[in-house]
């Protein structure tokens, strides 16, 4: 965010990506919010038998209720691993030009998708506060959304970008060295949650999220970007492969923050990453068949 050059951004192509993504996310969020609310209502009316193991996603007390749960699932179904897997893939498939567009997408990916889902979740939490006025609810939601483990670095980077000061080489080198810890820490976090929750009873939900992320979202982007915005060729290929990336680790960060769907998010990250070996080849073949 601190390095992003707003003047050089390909805004038309970016809109062609984020418009169908946000439309897809809106439909998914509304559907999941109703589904989670129904599950929690049934769990309260029909408590499980004594000693029975119940999926955490169905009955746990979620911070923010169905809205926070739907936001967490929305991250899993929308926000892909566009850096660790996406950057090498874009560089290998599309060269320097395609990689430049991919990096432009990454620079707005968190700002657009994660900001929206964070606000939805935090507003729901603030509204659940007993006895709060409208002003108090707004203050609580804004404060929680800003001081959020995902949102705060995005907003700080954006604010620093607007100053025009750039990054000192020493600071830049220090931040670059810290990024080396990202992948092993994410893998450790995912492995810890797998050891805690396992995959039993979680595969169905994780497979559903994986199908949505790996197949449905890229199809929505392909159809929307091409037939609504007229994007084709290399640009369309970059957009589709960006959407086709597997579930990213931010899904688990959301799950842990709101204490909901931790097991499903972990399983979805693992299963979608394994399946990406095959689905990425499928989308490359489709794009090649279409002449893009």
Instruction: Report residue 159 as tokens.
Output: 């604010």
Residue % of the chain over a pLDDT of 90: 38
Give the mean pLDDT of the chain: 84
Q: Which two tokens stand for residue 114?
A: 């994660």
| Cβ contact 69:36 at 8 Å | yes
Question: What is the structure's pLDDT at 56?
Answer: 42
Which of 254, 278, 273, 276 is closest to 265 using CA atoms?
254
Mean of pLDDT values over 65-70: 83
Segment 239-248 shows an average pLDDT of 96
Tokens (6 digits) for 183: 């992948």
pLDDT band at 63 (very low <50, low <70, confident <90, very high): low
User: What's the confidence (pLDDT) of residue 181?
Assistant: 85
Q: Which residue has the higher pLDDT, 272 or 65?
A: 272
pLDDT of 38 higher than 90 = no
Number of domains in the chain: 1
**Model confidence band, residue 52 (pLDDT cutoffs 50, 70, 90):** very low
**Run of H or E residues at 273:** helix 262-289
- Provide the 3-class DSSP secondary structure of residue 80: strand
Q: How far apart are the first and last CA of the chain?
A: 30
Nearest-CA neighbor of 190 among 245, 265, 80?
265
Confidence of residue 132 (pLDDT cuts 50, 70, 90): low
Cα separation, 184 vs 119, in Å, equals 29
Residue with tokens 């073949």: 285
In a domain, 225, yes or no: yes
Q: Binning pLDDT at 50, 70 and 90, where does residue 9 land? A: confident
Least confident segment among 16-30, 50-64, 115-129, 149-163: 50-64
CA atoms within a 13 Å half-sphere pointing along the CA-CB vector of 196: 14
Which of the given ranges, 2-6, 128-132, 219-223, has the highest pLDDT on average?
Answer: 219-223
Better-scored residue on pLDDT, 80 or 60: 80
The answer as to whether 156 is a domain residue is yes
- CB burial class (10 A; 0-12, 13-18, 19+) of residue 174? exposed
- The alpha carbon of residue 159 and the mean position of all alpha carbons in its chain are separated, in whole angstroms, by 22
Residues of the chain above pLDDT 70, percent: 89
Q: Which two tokens stand for residue 272?
A: 């979608």
The model's pLDDT over 182-217, given as tens digits with 9 standing for 90+, comes to 778 878 888 887 788 777 767 888 999 999 999 999
Confidence of residue 131 (pLDDT cuts 50, 70, 90): low
Residues 223/20, Cβ–Cβ less than 8 Å: yes
Whole-angstrom Cα distance, residue 256 to residue 266?
10
Among the listed residues 77, 93, 269, the one whose alpha carbon sits nearest the alpha carbon of residue 188: 269
Asked if residue 3 belongs to a domain, the reply is no
Q: Is 291 exposed, middle or buried (0-12, 13-18, 19+ CB in 10 A)?
A: exposed
- The mean-pLDDT minimum among 109-118, 241-250, 273-282 falls in 109-118
Q: Does any domain span residue 30? A: yes
User: Is the pLDDT score of 1 beyond 70?
Assistant: yes
DSSP class of 49: P
User: The domain that contains 213 carries what CATH number?
Assistant: 1.20.1530
| In the predicted structure, residue 16 carries a pLDDT above the cut 50 | yes
pLDDT-derived band of residue 14, with 50, 70 and 90 as boundaries? very high
DSSP code per residue over 174-233:
HHHHHHTTHHHHHHHHHHHHHHHH-STTTHHHHHHHHHIIIIIHHHHHHHIIIIIT---H
Residue at 2 is within a domain: no
Within-domain flag for 190? yes
Q: How many other CB atoms are there within 10 angstroms of residue 226's CB atom?
A: 20
Contact between 155 and 144 under an 8 Å Cβ cutoff? The reply is: no
Q: Is residue 228 part of a domain?
A: yes
Domain carrying residue 41: 8-289
Q: Which whole number is the average pLDDT over 152-166?
A: 86
CB 214 within 8 A of CB 281: no
Q: Kindly indicate the confidence band of residue 59, based on its pLDDT and cuts at 50, 70 and 90.
A: very low
Give 180's pLDDT tier (boundaries 50, 70, 90): confident
Q: Is residue 214 part of a domain?
A: yes
- Please compute the mean of the pLDDT values over residues 84-89 and round it to a whole number: 90
Q: How confident is the model at residue 42 (pLDDT cuts 50, 70, 90)?
A: low
CA distance 188 to 183: 9
């Amino acid at each position: 965010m601190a390095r992003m050059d707003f003047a050089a951004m390909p805004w038309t192509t970016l809109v062609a990506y984020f418009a169908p993504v946000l439309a897809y996310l809106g439909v998914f969020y509304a559907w999941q919010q109703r589904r989670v609310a129904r599950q929690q209502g049934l769990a309260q009316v029909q408590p499980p038998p004594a000693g029975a193991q119940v999926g955490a996603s169905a009955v746990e007390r979620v911070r923010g209720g169905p809205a926070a749960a739907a936001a967490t699932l929305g991250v899993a179904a929308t926000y892909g691993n566009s850096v660790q897997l996406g950057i090498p893939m874009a560089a290998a498939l599309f060269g320097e030009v395609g990689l430049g567009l991919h990096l432009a997408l990454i620079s707005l990916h968190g700002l657009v998708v994660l900001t929206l889902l964070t606000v939805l979740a935090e507003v729901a939490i603030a509204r659940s506060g007993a006895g709060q006025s409208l002003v108090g609810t707004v203050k609580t939601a804004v404060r929680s959304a800003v001081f959020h483990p995902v949102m705060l670095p995005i907003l700080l980077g954006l604010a620093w970008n607007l100053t025009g000061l750039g990054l000192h080489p020493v600071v830049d080198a220090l931040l670059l060295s810290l990024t080396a810890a990202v992948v092993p820490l994410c893998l450790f976090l995912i492995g810890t949650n797998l050891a805690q929750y396992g995959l039993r009873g979680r595969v169905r939900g994780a497979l559903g999220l994986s199908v949505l992320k790996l197949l449905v979202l890229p199809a929505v982007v392909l159809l929307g970007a091409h037939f609504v915005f007229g994007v084709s060729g290399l640009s369309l290929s970059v957009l589709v492969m960006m959407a086709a990336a597997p579930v990213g680790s931010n899904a688990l960060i959301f799950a842990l923050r709101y204490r909901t769907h931790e097991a499903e998010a972990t399983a979805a990250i693992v299963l979608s990453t394994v399946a990406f070996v095959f689905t990425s080849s499928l989308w490359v073949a489709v794009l090649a068949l279409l002449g893009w």
